[in-house]
């Protein structure tokens, strides 16, 4: 099989060592060892990351002097090594999964950890998509990729014992056996995974991360390489989003692997719903009468949504292959103890073809992984007899783990059946473990399945993205339900604050006007008004109320002058406060997403500030503080503030003395004047924005 960058792979890179890590006990031990050796950089990306994950090996305990829980472990590392930077990228998950997740990941992985642990929720995917890659890269020297997240209810050993006292969640609740597979690589392949992580971090956090590649011996202890000097192919799924082009290398590689199969295809996968894959496999089985496919998948799924969509989709996937009888076996692992039985959750994503091609990654055999979610798979094509023998040994080990026997027993069974995987697998059983026929009992109607799978397993991001792209100039909005929730919550907070201001007499224009009216004729009135604006702005008092009251108290001309000077002075002072607080303080509070605001503001300078003032997206003082902490020059900031606030101040001043009455007891004439003033405000705002955009160059 040929690797073709841009078609079935993103990049092919050399690895001096590579190994398969079976189940979370081995994986957690390996990443723990590699992280302890980290000198400069740890980068982590996941679909689910939990701060309380016990990062422990097969014994279930730790003996290296560091805490077991993930967040505490990282905190101890960075306190010991201040030069070490940790970046954690977590999918900004849909609220559908909230009950299963760390409820407050920003607090547990960002606010409660040292500043050199950077945490970012990744919402930079289209509607209906998720960030599904599971990556860990240490110093650009060792990289991990596969199906395992650093989260709870994943830890298990390859023994998959019926009852393991260490297989419990943080609440002490036990869970069934759990099977997954990860791959570890070093050398150029690890550096390539580092590049992939940096690209994702730049997309989500708007921050460039330098390459490190110290390579002083990060290879994890007690991990014996399965390959030496191997070429590792990295394949991605990347939905089109903003400036990111679409990549469907994962799907193309599945097709190409199937098309090269001659004798055996071994598959472990959580989901089987992608009918194009099933049809391609069926076509190859017809072409090659000696070809067989052993497919291991979970019998049941956890949530109602998965049962109704993924399980029903699996039934349709399996139906495509029914004509091949015993040449295809779709089965699940069972663990028994006496009369009691439990099911092993198969979460792995593995494919082995003809003992010569090994693939381990994050991509399921469902529609989402082909074009909707971000994915990363690693593939090795055996280049010599030693590598072929390693792939055979890895396949036998996986088969042995499911069947409760040794790798030697599995190898002997395959040899006994002359390489026939299905016959060997059906006869293998030990320690209560065995593979069983999948029992399909889905009662989902075709109509309901089409509706549910359109949400749970879409072939592409939800919605007509071409339409959205055309309407909004190529911008594809983030898909995240939690983002929607944040907007709703922010709206609720704003409404609540507005209601509160209704009951605070000081926050009414007429009340403020009466206070300011006493200053009319006072020699020091300008200084007092400007001082009031500065103090009020620092205390988050609504600046619009002050402008309106000033115009009502001093008249349209003098009020306009006082209000303009006061608003600009308040903006400058709070800008200075933001600069004094500094980028680090706001970043510690808001996280890397602050970079988005800083970058967009700094890039456009005056235009950006004017636009924010014209259509305020945040309170006056909040914008000032954020601008002060950003890299925008003070000149651009003040000019943009003046231009952006000018239309509103003109409108309020034009209404003048009537503004307080309009706010409390308006007449029909008052409402007409207000409507005319608002129309003038909109027109002037649009005109100013056009002039700024056309004649003001951000690179002057």
160 and 45 together in one domain: yes
**In the predicted model, is pLDDT for residue 555 greater than 70?**
yes
Please indicate whether residue 659 or residue 562 has the higher confidence score (pLDDT). 562
| In a domain? residue 491 | no
pLDDT digits 0-9 by tens, 647-668 = 777 766 666 555 555 555 666 7
Name residue 365's beta-bridge partners: 272
| In a domain? residue 6 | no
Distance (Å, whole) CA 87 – CA 602: 24
24 and 168 together in one domain: yes
210 and 313 together in one domain: no
| In a domain? residue 268 | yes
CA angle 630, 112, 589 (to 5 degrees): 20
208 and 326 together in one domain: no
Contact 109, 582 (CB under 8 A): no
pLDDT band at 72; cut points 50, 70, 90: very high
| In a domain? residue 356 | yes
Comparing CA positions, the residue from 51, 135, 124 lying closest to residue 92 is 124
377 and 413 together in one domain: yes
pLDDT digits 0-9 by tens, 477-503 = 444 444 444 444 544 544 454 445 445
pLDDT digits 0-9 by tens, 355-375 = 999 999 999 999 999 999 999
Distance (Å, whole) CA 367 – CA 503: 54
Last residue of a domain, one of 441, 456, 471: 456
Long-range CB contacts (< 8 A, 24+ apart) of 469-478?
474/242, 475/242, 476/126, 476/127, 476/240, 476/241, 476/242, 477/126, 477/127, 478/92, 478/123, 478/124, 478/125, 478/126, 478/127
**Mean pLDDT of the region 128-152:** 96
Q: Which two tokens stand for residue 519?
A: 């200053």
Q: Which two tokens stand for residue 195?
A: 């590049």
Last residue of a domain, one of 425, 456, 487: 456
Contact 395, 266 (CB under 8 A): yes
| In a domain? residue 484 | no
170 and 94 together in one domain: yes
Contact 25, 64 (CB under 8 A): no
| In a domain? residue 5 | no
Mean pLDDT of the chain: 82
289 and 200 together in one domain: no
222 and 260 together in one domain: no
Tell me the CATH number at 213: 3.30.870.10
Contact 507, 544 (CB under 8 A): no
Whose structure tokens read 């050399």? 14
Distance (Å, whole) CA 639 – CA 527: 22
Question: Which pLDDT value is given to residue 102?
Answer: 78
Contact 238, 203 (CB under 8 A): no
125 and 272 together in one domain: no
pLDDT band at 466; cut points 50, 70, 90: very low
Instruction: Return the sign of the alpha-carbon dihedral for residues 357, 362, 364, 365.
Output: negative
367 and 512 together in one domain: no
**Mean pLDDT of the region 386-399:** 98
**In the predicted model, is pLDDT for residue 468 greater than 50?**
no
| In a domain? residue 473 | no
pLDDT digits 0-9 by tens, 311-327 = 788 999 999 999 999 99
Segments forming the whole domain that contains residue 192: 11-230
Structural domain total, the chain: 3
303 and 444 together in one domain: yes
pLDDT digits 0-9 by tens, 8-54 = 999 999 999 999 999 999 999 999 999 999 999 999 999 999 999 99
Q: Which two tokens stand for residue 495?
A: 């409404």
Question: Which pLDDT value is given to residue 699?
Answer: 42
pLDDT band at 474; cut points 50, 70, 90: very low
Percent of the chain with pLDDT over 70: 73
| In a domain? residue 205 | yes
183 and 331 together in one domain: no
pLDDT band at 641; cut points 50, 70, 90: confident
Last residue of a domain, one of 172, 204, 230: 230
**In the predicted model, is pLDDT for residue 182 greater than 90?**
yes
pLDDT digits 0-9 by tens, 265-289 = 999 999 999 999 999 999 999 999 9
């Amino acid at each position: 099989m040929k690797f073709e960058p841009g078609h079935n792979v993103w990049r092919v890179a050399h690895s001096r060592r590579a190994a398969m890590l079976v189940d979370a006990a081995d994986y957690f031990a390996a990443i723990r060892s590699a992280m302890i050796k980290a000198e400069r950089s740890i980068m982590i990306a996941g679909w689910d990351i939990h701060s309380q994950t016990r990062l422990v090996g097969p014994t279930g305990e730790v003996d290296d002097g560091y805490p077991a829980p993930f967040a505490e472990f990282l905190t101890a590392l960075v306190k010991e090594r201040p030069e070490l930077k940790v970046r954690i990228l977590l999918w900004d998950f849909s609220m559908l999964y909230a009950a299963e997740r760390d409820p407050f990941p920003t607090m547990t992985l960002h606010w409660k950890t040292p500043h050199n642990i950077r945490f970012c929720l990744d919402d930079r995917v289209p509607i209906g998509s998720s960030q599904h890659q599971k990556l860990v890269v240490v110093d650009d020297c060792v990289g991990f990729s596969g199906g395992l997240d650093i989260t709870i209810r994943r830890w298990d050993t390859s023994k998959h014992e019926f009852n393991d006292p260490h297989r419990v969640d943080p609440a002490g609740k036990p869970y069934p056996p759990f099977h997954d597979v990860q791959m570890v690589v070093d050398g150029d392949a690890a550096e390539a995974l580092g590049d992939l992580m940096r690209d994702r971090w730049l997309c989500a956090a708007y921050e460039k991360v330098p390459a490190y590649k110290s390579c002083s011996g990060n290879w994890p202890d007690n991990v014996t390489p399965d390959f030496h000097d191997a070429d590792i192919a990295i394949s991605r799924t990347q939905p089109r989003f903003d400036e990111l082009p679409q990549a469907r290398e994962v799907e193309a590689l599945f097709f190409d692997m199937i098309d090269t199969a001659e004798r055996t295809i071994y598959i472990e996968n959580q989901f089987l719903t992608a009918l194009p894959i099933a049809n391609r496999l069926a076509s190859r089985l017809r072409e090659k009468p000696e070809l067989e496919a052993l497919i291991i998948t979970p019998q049941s799924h956890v949530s109602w949504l998965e049962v109704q969509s993924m399980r029903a989709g699996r039934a349709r996937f399996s139906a495509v292959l029914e004509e091949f009888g015993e040449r295809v076996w779709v089965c699940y692992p069972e663990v028994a103890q006496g009369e009691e039985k439990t099911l092993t959750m198969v979460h792995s994503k593995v494919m082995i073809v003809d003992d010569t091609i090994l693939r381990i990654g994050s991509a399921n055999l469902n529609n989402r992984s082909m074009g909707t979610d971000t994915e990363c798979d690693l593939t090795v094509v055996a280049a010599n007899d030693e590598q072929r023998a390693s792939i055979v040994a890895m396949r036998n080990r996986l088969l042995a783990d499911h069947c409760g026997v040794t790798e030697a027993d599995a190898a002997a069974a395959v040899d006994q059946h002359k390489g026939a995987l299905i016959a060997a697998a059906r006869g293998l059983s030990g320690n209560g473990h065995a593979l069983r026929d999948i029992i399909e009992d889905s009662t989902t109607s075709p109509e309901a399945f089409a509706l549910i799978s359109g949400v749970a397993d879409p072939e592409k991001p939800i919605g007509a993205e071409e339409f959205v792209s055309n309407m909004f100039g190529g911008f594809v909005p983030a898909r995240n339900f939690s983002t929607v929730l944040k907007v709703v919550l922010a709206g609720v907070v704003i409404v609540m604050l507005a209601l509160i201001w209704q009951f605070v007499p000081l926050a009414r224009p007429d009340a403020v006007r009466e206070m300011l009216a006493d200053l009319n004729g006072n020699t020091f009135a300008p200084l007092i008004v400007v001082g009031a604006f500065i103090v009020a702005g620092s205390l988050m008092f609504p600046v619009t109320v002050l402008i309106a009251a000033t115009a009502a108290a001093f008249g349209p001309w003098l009020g306009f002058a006082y209000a303009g000077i006061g608003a600009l002075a308040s903006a400058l002072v709070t800008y200075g406060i933001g600069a004094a607080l500094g980028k680090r303080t706001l970043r510690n509070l808001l996280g890397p997403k602050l970079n988005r605001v800083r970058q967009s503001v700094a890039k456009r300078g005056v235009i950006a500030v004017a636009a924010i003032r014209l259509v305020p997206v945040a309170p006056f003082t909040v914008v000032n503080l954020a601008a002060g902490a950003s890299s925008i020059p003070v000149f651009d900031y003040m000019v943009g503030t003046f231009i952006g606030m000018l239309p509103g101040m003109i409108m309020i001043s034009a209404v003048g003395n009537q503004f307080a009455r309009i706010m409390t007891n308006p007449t029909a004439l008052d409402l007409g004047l207000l409507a005319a003033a608002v129309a003038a405000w909109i027109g002037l705002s649009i005109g100013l924005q056009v002039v700024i955009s056309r004649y003001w160059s951000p690179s002057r």
